[in-house]
Amino acid sequence: MNRVDGLFQKLKAKKEGALMCYLPVIGPSFNYSLEIADAFVEGGVDMFELCIPGGAPWLDGPPMQTHHKVCGQTGVTVERAFELASLVRERYPELPILPMGYVSSIVETGVDTFVGLAAAAGVDGYELPDYPAYKAGDPIGFHRKMREKNMYSVNFIDGISLAPEGTPAYRLLEEILSDAKGFLFMTASPGVTGGTGDIPLEHLKKSVARVREVQKKVDHDTPVLVGFGLTRPEHVQKVIQVVRADAVVVGSAVSRYINRHEKPEIIFKFIQSLKQETL
């Protein structure tokens, strides 16, 4: 069983939401990244979202773009990022690890090589916001090749969750929801990551409810994760308790602590405050 599936089964039984947080790849030694990973786990993180450098990180706001810049400055490549994933896997055999990156990094590395690196590192899936796995029929075979290795290519469903029935967008939503594995990624706020304002609570409630409705229709249930713009514990509480999502991811808010080179114990306290709101 993929670790993501096992995690959501366990949390569902406890009526608990999942917390994913963004782990940057800070070279050249990875020591600080591993200290952050330890602080994440001590604070209650359920899944790691791992930065994969390269390409044009157009969805990442300034806090996370800083990590991509530092990767370039310290010689962190795609291969080295997967080295960190391997180290995290050795430390935490049971926790899901899902890198996030962009399709250009996969193409530059080579699809087969990239999937091989991911499998060897022990990751559980890949968040790929700019890849049309369904809309364009998996053009480079990444979606299929990941599944062949029991890893999931996570689908982003922003923009189509409220599509009118009978439209092409609605048919695409049905296709994705009838086949998706791992979890579905729904963005809380439009635009890039790193927003600091309020989240559109009513819109999210309608979107998640619609996804549940279509999932029931196609008889295929995949957890829903919400991210982008979640910066405070109260955001996590609202998304889990009011929106009724299954999981949240907090990236830029954590990155701001890391960019200030905060001590791991400070990061731990922030993570702990987030996790408390998923219980």
What domains are defined for the chain?
3-11+18-276 (3.20.20.70)
What is the SS3 assignment for the chain? CCHHHHHHHHHHHHCCCEEEEEECCCCCCCHHHHHHHHHHHHHCCCEEEEECCCCCCCCCCHHHHHHHHHHHHCCCCHHHHHHHHHHHHHHCCCCCEEEECCHHHHHHHCHHHHHHHHHHHCCCEEECCCCCCCCCCCCCCHHHHHHHCCCEEEEECCCCCCCCCCCHHHHHHHHHHHHCCCCEEEECCCCCCCCCCCCCHHHHHHHHHHHHHHHHHHCCCCCEEEECCCCCHHHHHHHHHHCCCCEEEECHHHHHHHHCCCCHHHHHHHHHHHHHCCC
pTM of the predicted model as reported, rounded to 2 decimal places: 0.93
Across 72-81, 134-143, 170-179, 208-217, least confident range:
72-81
Q: What is the mean pLDDT of the chain?
A: 91
Across 209-218, 226-235, 237-246, 267-276, least confident range:
226-235
Q: Is the pLDDT of residue 191 over 50?
A: no
